[in-house]
Amino acid sequence: MGSNAIKDISERMVKAGRELHNQGLVRGTSGNISARIPGTDTFLIKPSGARMECLKADELVLVDLQGNRIRGESNVSMETPIHSAIYRTRKDVQAVVHTHAPTATAFGIAKTEILPLQIEVFMLLPNGVPFVPFEPPGSEALALAVQKKIEDYDALILENHGIVTVGSTIEAACNLNEMVEEAAKIQFLAMTLAGKDAMNLAKLKEKFKT
């Protein structure tokens, strides 16, 4: 993979970080974003302590699939174990986005899965967004829990800790993150109107004929 390709990926990550901030999915130094370098066993990730809206291409850290820093002067994100575990498990995944999207995060605190109530969300996440029981941030236990779940899902809620989405591109992973937050907002309103018991994945699958 040539330097021009790495430069392109870096610039796209910087742009995506600003968009995630503008959408209100991250605040302060929270959240991470990473992207695999195609054809290699490495990926770029936001450094520890960096703000998404202030990311610079030259401060992104290059690490291997075990989370070891290969290039970059900044410290790697404490959530690097999650990213590396996902890339080891899902060869189709080219980007990982972790945010503290407020409504979706609240669902995780309430231990409530997000359901694909809209047909547009159902087409992307037919099995909804499950939650991963709490483990300390940055721990191998959390990385292992995510690794087990991500085999079957493209989006996860981390209990008391935000959401994780993956995609075949940086843009796809970011778009899915935004859609999960929007789905959570709509589900909250729907539960307010119809009650929690009205939300049923089996009935959704029957309605959408899958």
Per-residue pLDDT of the chain (210 residues), as tens digits, is 457 788 999 999 999 999 999 999 999 999 999 999 998 999 999 999 999 999 999 999 999 999 999 987 778 899 999 999 999 999 999 999 999 999 999 999 999 999 999 999 999 999 999 999 999 999 999 999 999 999 999 999 999 999 999 999 999 999 999 999 999 999 999 999 988 777 888 989 999 986
Integer Cα distance of 162 and 106 in angstroms: 8
What homologous superfamily does CATH list for 3-207? Class II aldolase/adducin N-terminal domain (3.40.225.10)
Tell me what pLDDT residue 130 has: 95
Q: Backbone phi, then psi, for 35, in 5-degree steps?
A: -145, 135
Structure tokens at 68: 């070891």
Domain locations along the chain = 3-207
Phi-psi region of 180 (alpha: psi -120 to 50; beta: other; left: phi over 0): alpha
Tell me what pLDDT residue 210 has: 64
Tell me what pLDDT residue 78 has: 92
Asked whether 162 and 31 are in contact (CB, 8 A), the reply is yes
